Structure 1
Amino acid sequence: MNDQTGDPLNTLEILIAQLHSMWEGIISLLPSLVIAILFLVLTWIVARFATKIADRLTAKTAMRPSLRELVETLVRIAIWTVGLLIALTILLPDLTPGSLIAGLGVGTVAIGFAFQDIFENFLAGILIMIREKMRIGDYIRCEGIEGKVEQIMLRETHIRKMSNELTIVPNSILFKNPVEILTDQQRRRHEIVVGVAYDTDLEQARSVIRTALETSEVTDDQKPVDVFACEFNASSIDFRLRWWAGSAQRDMHDSRDIVVRSVKRALDKAGIEIPFPYITHTFKDAIPMASHGD
């Protein structure tokens, strides 16, 4: 008997039979393919309509623009995910929704491990926007980063330093660490330390300093002015001066400048010596108004 397995005619017949079978499969799939395509078109229409509704609803709220865009994106993704799953089950009846969801779950876990930092910053950005405590234009300090908030995005926040450099901070840093919002209130308390000679009448010095503070045009007359004798220094007795003024960084520098010059002028006029060399204390960082009741 002759072996005909290598006969070119036999091979051609097998190839034609396979192509014919594939063609029949495609023809049999056409109705399902048309229905799946129509369903995807319907999904596109529904996604556009739902996005417009979400945009109108969020426009009536005080949501940040970035958060509104996120809501619209999530609505669009949710509708398209459901639409694609249904279209796949129509096109491939043997592919059940359960197996698709299980596959998506495994894929999501794998992607989550691969892009953990990205998702962490993304989620932190969403929570920062929802919390809405930190606003555009606020002056903040966090982990050695200090400046004005220019933009809050889903993954990062742009902070402009006073020297005009831009710092791009991952949102996870701002979410996981304490953030000082120095401009949370319109007014905050500032303070400096000034020393007088040991032979000075402290009651007179306190009165002169208090008058200089109270008559300064930058101090808030609705808030108390404090003058405390606080320390015996190497060559002086130190007074701690506290007053309320604007919370913006420029206001802080302006008010300290005016207070220092006013106090120096008043002490000179009263003949009260500021010892030299005088060991100054570092100006203490101003404290937000909301955290102090005095």
Structure 2
Amino acid sequence: MEELEQLPFVSLLLGEVQAYLSDIGSAAPRLAAGLLLILVTWLVARLGRALVARVADKAKLRRNLRDVLTMLTGLCLWLGGLLITITLIFPTVTPGKALTTLGLGSIAIGFAFKDVFENFLAGLLILWREPFQIGDHIALEANDVEGQVEQITVRDSRIRRTDGQMIVVPNALLFQQPVIVRTNRDIRRTSIIVGVAYDEDVDQAREIIQGAVAEVDSVRSDVRAVQVFAKAFGASSIDFEVAWWTGSRPVDIRASRDQVVASIKRALDEANIEIPFPYRTLVFKDQGEAERFHPSEAGRPPDL
């Protein structure tokens, strides 16, 4: 054994091991203090998350927003605790150096995960500002996206279309693009076009249409009056634009239109006001072409 210890590389290795063990022995108090500090950090982070969750519940914040705030609180407390622990165990690492290293690493991570952080920040702003809520019917006309909001997370939002399909939309898109919230209010205006024949009385037709629409149960005439305006001279009719207010959900709009169309049709039929079919006038160059479309009284079928 003594001969081995006299070898240069063996003596060098033993010296390194002894120095390493000596360093561990001298660092043992710092390691113990670091472990204790990690335990304290865990307790503080847990208490901090519980406190934030309680405050969020009292403020009646969304559940998703409450979860995000508690997560960020725990993350910040853990980050501060680990930073103090590192400076305690390694005295040569100052808080300034640690923050500098963390900042450079954050920049690199930010460039690598730019889209992820963009959606995350957009999700936080959406949850905080609440431009729309779960259950609202929204539409992004520029992207042909429309449906009911089922879930809002910090990365994306889940939108259920009226045909049952699910659309997962990144939050950055919802934050940057114009979003139409169709159910922001309990009522919404809708309209249809109704045409009556040219030989009918316009004022009488307007009154009959307005009365027929006001009688429909789904029409909120108590909130806003039914509006009927003569809009245009159509190809075979005077066209009226009929506007009324009803429920804001898509199913409310469809059901109300069905009831309104049926009510207007019954009222105009009872008043003997014609809803004309489209008329077409055909001009022929000679009598032969006219006879092809207008056979003689003998009942000869048209020669087509």
* Residue 8 of structure 1: how far off its partner (Å): 8.5
Equivalent residue of 1:242, what SS? strand
Cα distance in 1 for residues equivalent to 2:60 and 2:277: 56
* Separation of aligned partners in 2, 1:8 and 1:241: 107
Aligned-pair Cα RMSD in Å = 1.4
Alpha-carbon displacement from aligned partner over 1:69-96 (angstroms, at most 9, x marks no partner): 1111111111111111111111111101
Alignment partners' CA distance in 2, 1:35 and 1:266:
87
Cα distance in 2 for residues equivalent to 1:188 and 1:145? 20
The alpha carbon displacement at 1:275 in A equals 1.9
1:154 is paired with a residue of what secondary structure? coil
How many Å separate the matches in 2 of 1:186 and 1:10?
88
Residue 193 (structure 1) aligned with residue 181 (structure 2): no
What CA distance in whole angstroms lies between the structure 1 residues aligned with 2:191 and 2:221? 16
For residues 40 and 207 of structure 2, what CA distance do their matches in structure 1 show?
80
Decide whether the 8 Å contact of 2:235 with 2:278 is kept in 1.
no
What's the CA shift for 1:130?
0.9
Structure 2 residue aligned with 1:246: 247
Task: Measure the CA separation in 2 of the matches of 1:266 and 1:57.
Answer: 58
Q: For residue 277 of structure 1, report the CA deviation from its aligned partner.
A: 2.9
Secondary structure at 1:151 match in 2? strand
Aligned to 2:45: 47
Separation in 2, partners of 1:218, 1:37: 68
Matching residue of 2:7: 9
Q: What SS does structure 1 have at the residue aligned with 2:212?
A: helix
1:174 aligns with 2:190: no
2:284 corresponds in structure 1 to none
| 3-state SS, counterpart of residue 271 of structure 1 | coil
Q: Give structure 1 stretches of 5+ with no counterpart.
A: 1-6, 279-294
Query: What's the secondary structure of 1:14's corresponding residue?
Result: helix
SS at match of 1:31: helix
TM-score (norm 1): 0.89
1:81 matched to 2:79: yes
The one-letter amino acid paired with 1:148 is Q
Task: Determine the C-alpha separation between the residues in 1 that align with 2:116 and 2:127.
Answer: 17
Offset at 1:133? Answer: 2.8
Specify every segment of 5 or more residues in structure 2 that has no aligned partner in the other structure, as ranges. Answer: 280-304
Pick from 110, 113, 127 the counterpart of residue 129 of structure 1.
127
Larger deviation, residues 93-102 vs 205-214: 205-214
Q: Deviations over 1:75-125 (max 9, x none)?
A: 111111111111111111110100110111111111111111111111111
- Equivalent AA in structure 2 for residue 50 of structure 1: G
Correspondences of 1:135-284 after superposition (within 5 Å)? 135-142=133-140, 143-222=143-222, 223-277=224-278
Match of 1:21 in 2: 19
Work out the CA distance in 2 between the residues paired with 1:117 and 1:218: 45
| Higher RCO (CA 8 Å, separation ≥ 6 residues) | 1
CA contact (8 A) 2:221 2:244 kept: no
Match of 1:285 in 2: none
Structure 1 moving runs of 4+ over 6 Å:
none
Alignment size in residue pairs: 272
CA distance in structure 2 between the aligned counterparts of 1:74 and 1:214, rounded to whole angstroms: 53
The percentage of counterpart residues that share the same residue type is 44
